[in-house]
Amino acid sequence: MKGQTVYRRYPWLNSGLVILLLLLTLVSLRIGPVSISTSELINALVHSQDSNQTLRHNMILIELRLPRLLLAILVGGSLGISGAALQGLLRNPLAEPGLIGVSSCAGLGAVICLYFGLSTLSIWLLPTMAMTGAALATLLLCWIGRHHAGNLTLILSGIALSSLAAALTSLALNLAPSPADVQDMVLWLLGSLNYRSFNDIQLCFPFVLIGLILLMSCGAKLDALTLGEAEAQSLGVNLPELQRQIIVGTALSVGSCVAVTGTIGFVGLVVPHLLRRWVDYHPSRLLLSSALGGAVLLLAADIALRLLSSTQEIMLGVVTALIGAPFFLFLVLQQKWRVP
C-alpha cells in the first residue's frame, strides 16, 4: 500500500515534463522576428514547396529555429542528467558538471582554438578542441579515481582542475592579440544557442547519446550509494567502475554540448534539486526526470531571452547564471547534507 503512494507521483512527473516540453517546443518554433502560427508551422514543415511564404517559413525553421530548439533540448537534458548523476555519486546536492572541471576544460580548449586563430581553418576545429579539453579533464579524473578511490578526493580534484582551467582561460584573454579576439572568446564563453546549425547538432549528437546511455544505466548503483560507499560495495557495486561510467558519461554529453554552445552553468545544479522531492529522493528516478527538466528549463530560458532581447541578444549562459547563482547561495545556506 505504501509502495503505491511512492510509485504514483513519479510517472506523472515525467509525463508532465514531457507535455511541458512539447508546449515549449511549439512556442519556441513560433516566436521570433517572423512570427509563425501553428497552422503555418505545419504547412511549412509538411508542404515546403507549395508557396513562396511556406518556403520562407521552411527556411527559417530548418536553418534557425529547429537547430536552436534541438540544441536547447540536448544541452539542457545533458546538463540536467549529469547534475543528477554527479549529485548521486558524490551524495552531495551541490555537485554539478561545472564542479568536476569538465565544462571549464572544454571552455579552455575552445579558447585556445580562438586564441591561435585556428577556428578560421575549419569550423569543426573549435568543437573538436573543446571536446578534447573535456576528454583530457575526464582522463585525469579517471586516473585520480583509480588511484585515490574516495569521492571527496574526486570533488576536490575537480575544483582544482576547474580553477586551473579558469586561470588558463583568463591568461589567454589577458594575452589576446586583439580586442576582437577577446570579444570572440568572451562571447563564446558566455554560452549561446544562436546561429547554430544542423552541422553542430550532427557533431555533438553521437557523443551526447552515448553519454546519456552511460548515465541512464547507473540508476540502481546510485540508489545503492545512498547506503554509503562500503555498504554499496557490499551489495555488489563496483565503485571505481561507477565513478568512471559517470565521469565519462558527463564528459561526453556535457563536453560535446559545451563544445557547440559555450559554457552554460547552473542547470545541472538547479534542476535535480528542484525535482528531487518529487521522486522521493531516489537517485535513480531523478535521472530521467532531470534530463527532461533540464531540457524544459533551458528551452524556457531560451524563449525568455528571445522575448526580452531587442537588438543585442542576451547570452543564454548569462541568463542561467543569473537564475542559478542566487539559487546556489540559497542551497548553501539551506544545506542539510554534508559531504560524505
Partner 1 sequence: MSVKPLLSADNVYVELQKRKILRGISLCLCKGELLGLLGPNGAGKSTLMKALAQLLPYRGEIRCMGRSLQQVPAIERARLIAYLEQSVQKGWPIKVHDYVALGRLPHRSTWYRNMHRDHDSKAVKIAIEQVGLGSLDDRPVVELSGGEFARVRLARALAVQTPLLLADEPVSVLDPFHQLQVMELLRRLCCDGRAGIVVLHDLTLASRFCDRLLLLDKGRTVASGIPRQVLTPVNLQQVYQVQAMVGEHQQQSYILPWSCYSTESSSEEKYR
Q: Which residues contact 78 (CB under 8 A, 6 or more apart)?
A: 208, 211, 212, 253, 254, 256, 257, 291, 294
Q: 53, 234, 309, 335: which one contacts partner 1 (CB under 8 A)?
A: 234
Q: Is 336 in the site for partner 1 (CB under 8 A)?
A: yes
Q: Is 221 in the site for partner 1 (CB under 8 A)?
A: yes
Tell me 277's DSSP state: G
Distance between first and last Cα of the chain: 33
Q: Is 280 in the site for partner 1 (CB under 8 A)?
A: yes
> Could you tell me how many residues of this chain bind partner 1 (CB under 8 A)?
32
| Least distance CB 213 / partner 1 (angstroms) | 11
C-alpha cell at 123: 569550423
Q: Which residues contact 171 (CB under 8 A, 6 or more apart)?
A: none
Q: 34, 220, 308, 322: which one contacts partner 1 (CB under 8 A)?
A: 220
Q: Per-residue x/- mask for partner 1, residues 240 to 279, rule CB under 8 A?
A: ------------------------------------x---
Q: Is 282 in the site for partner 1 (CB under 8 A)?
A: yes
| CA angle 327–279–228, rounded 5-degree value | 85
| Sign, Cα dihedral of 77, 80, 84, 87 | positive
Q: 219, 262, 293, 294: which one contacts partner 1 (CB under 8 A)?
A: 219
Q: 12, 124, 281, 330: which one contacts partner 1 (CB under 8 A)?
A: 281
Distance CA 201, CA 99 (A): 25
Q: Per-residue x/- mask for partner 1, residues 44 to 83, rule CB under 8 A?
A: ----------------------------------------
Distance CA 237, CA 242 (A): 8
| Region 115-174 residues binding partner 1, contact defined as CB under 8 A | none
Residue with cell 540559497: 330
| Amino acid at the residue 185 | M
Interface positions with partner 1 (CB under 8 A): 2-3, 5-6, 91, 217, 219-221, 223-228, 230-231, 233-238, 276, 280-283, 336-338, 340
